[in-house]
Amino acid sequence: MSNPSVFISYSHKNKEWVRNYLLTNLEKNGIPCHIDFRDFEIGKVSLLCMEEAVEKCDRTVLVYTPNWVNSEFAQFESVMLQTDSPLNLNKKILPLLLEECDIPKRLKILNYADLKDKTDWDTQLDRVIKQIKKDFKITEPEKKTYPFLDTQHVDIIRLPETGFELFGRHKELTLLNETWESNTINIISFVAYGGVGKSTLIKKWVEKMRWDNYRGAEKVYVWSFYSQGTNERVTSADMFFRNALEWFGDADPKQGLPWDKGKRLARLINKHKTLLILDGLEPLQSAEKFEHGKIKDAALETLIKELAKFNKGLCIITTRETVPELDRYPKNSKQVDLEHISSEAGRKLLEMRRIKGTEVELESVVQKFGSHALAINLLAEYLYLFDEHPVAKAEAIPDLDIPEEKGRHARRVIEAFADFFGSTSAEYRLLSILGLFDRPVPIDAIAAIIENRTEIGFADKILDTSGDVWKTTLKNLRKHKLIFRESLHNSNTLDCHPLIREYFGEKLEKQNPDAWKQSHLHLYEYYKNLPEKELPDTLEEMEPLFAAVKHGCLAGKHQEVLDDVYWNRISRGNHAYTVNKLGAFGADLSCLSNFFETFWDKPSADLKNIWKAVILN
């Protein structure tokens, strides 16, 4: 799409006319066209293909018909709200009225070519062709082009599957564009609590970067810590450093103390103009008042400081907490408080989902739900469940007595969905299973729970992970955006927003503690038997054992887990294998944290006294 071109948006019920008449005549007259059935990228989400086409093509032709208005307009409006010209300021839209229909009010202001009369088709299309050719002669200056970046220099597989469209973030997208082009800022951090759309913002921007061959970046690397959950917990960056050092070409990623690893990775990153994205940093930041937000992992702290001093490219961080280490480098770093979406953006989101109400009513309900992006997205889906989709139904959703930073408004809507489905529904049961985890969930792990469904109460609904009930349940939850669509990178996992996981996990633990413990016990058995080797060699091979420790301790089996998994298979007794052999200080500390009731002074009461002393030591 480097030359001036036209994207055609139409209803598939009119495909014969579009393909045989409109497309044929436009291209016969020398106008390059971009159309879905021929030009969309195979295996890519259609909305993203449409957005790319609208942004990169110089004009978009809309074929107005009742079918387009009823089935395609909502998708097209969603795309326009996320492009660089949401109000058509660049005259990018050229409407054609093929059949009489109720044109959406936001498009009525545009003049259209009237093709309702078949005998007038050629005359009207000739007007369109002349207009396009005239526009192309005075089209904007040719856009800057960038050399192709080979896929071996790009690793974005860990971008989280956020699943929600982006609304009202043009200012932040512009800031990212300007920051990348100016090369004056080394690190930019977006700060906001859960569900506001930090990860969605970055994912959308990276997608736009990809359309332009990453705009001169020589390396692109993404790591997400977001899957560690929404609560304060001990974790580490060992897996990140192991993977990143290897990817950037370090000779021995296991070698060296944490501070050395941080400096080595910074040097490797700075050999190239690198776009580095660290998503969801908060699990690695302290919640203690005296050092709030401080990066707890020594290697990561060193890396951030080194990149703040000098960076040929750009490091982007998303987190719930400001990063105090960046305060020392005000000229080279920027921390942005990511505002909630505007009332107007929230209203447009509700309108796109065809929620009925006046503009004042819609914007009022957006404000009542905290202008919280996740809450408004879920609210739109919830209200759509009712006949006529009235916004007034939002008034019946009770408020919750919890702080906003704990996701109060999103949890209100999640609870409304829970009540709608009912605790015996397959949807509720599956979300309860996802609530047992703090990261994307392997479907095989879900199967391990379902296989033991009789004793934990899942027997009456989900029988397996391949039957019709399973497929219908996934389809329904994805339709309502309660779980993310299938990952293109890892199709054997399920995931949802951490706030949704936490809500259903807390409900299960409180209302059915026996099912909670039994489920974690089954997961403990599943994960401890997962490694092919009794004594795994690498950090990656060790990962299932770390998960086994967590689930086993949640099941109340602290002493058994300590004896059988941590001491014998992870630490290898006094050899301290993870620390001395793998150099994984943080991973070992994170694993040990499961044996404490409070960090770091009160080991679990289930442990024998001698082991309490060992753990404390």
pLDDT in tens, 345-374: 888 889 888 899 999 999 999 999 999 988
Contacts of 137 (CB under 8 A, 6+ apart): none
Rounded Cα distance between 347 and 358, Å, is 10
**What's the whole-number average pLDDT of the chain?**
88
Residue type, 609: N
What's residue 66's pLDDT? 93
Rounded Cα distance between 22 and 16, Å, is 9
Rounded Cα distance between 491 and 45, Å, is 14
All domains of the chain in start order, with CATH? 6-137 (3.40.50.10140), 151-337 (3.40.50.300), 345-400 (no CATH), 422-504 (1.10.10), 512-617 (no CATH)
Pairing state of beta strands 219-224 and 274-279?
A: parallel
237, 291 contact by CB (below 8 A): no
pLDDT tens by residue, 370-424: 999 889 989 999 999 999 999 999 999 999 999 888 889 999 999 999 999 999 8
Most confident region among 161-165, 193-197, 405-409, 411-415 by mean pLDDT = 411-415
Contacts of 115 (CB under 8 A, 6+ apart): 96, 97, 98, 121, 124, 125
CA distances from 463 to 446, 454, 457, 512, 524 (A): 11, 10, 11, 20, 21
Nearest to 379 by CA among 167, 159, 191: 167
Decide if pLDDT at 92 tops 70: yes
80 — pLDDT class (breaks 50, 70, 90): confident
Q: To 5 degrees, how large is the angle CA 76–CA 316–CA 1?
A: 40
Decide if pLDDT at 343 tops 70: yes
Question: What is the pTM (predicted TM-score) of this model?
Answer: 0.78
Contacts of 278 (CB under 8 A, 6+ apart): 223, 225, 315, 316, 317, 318
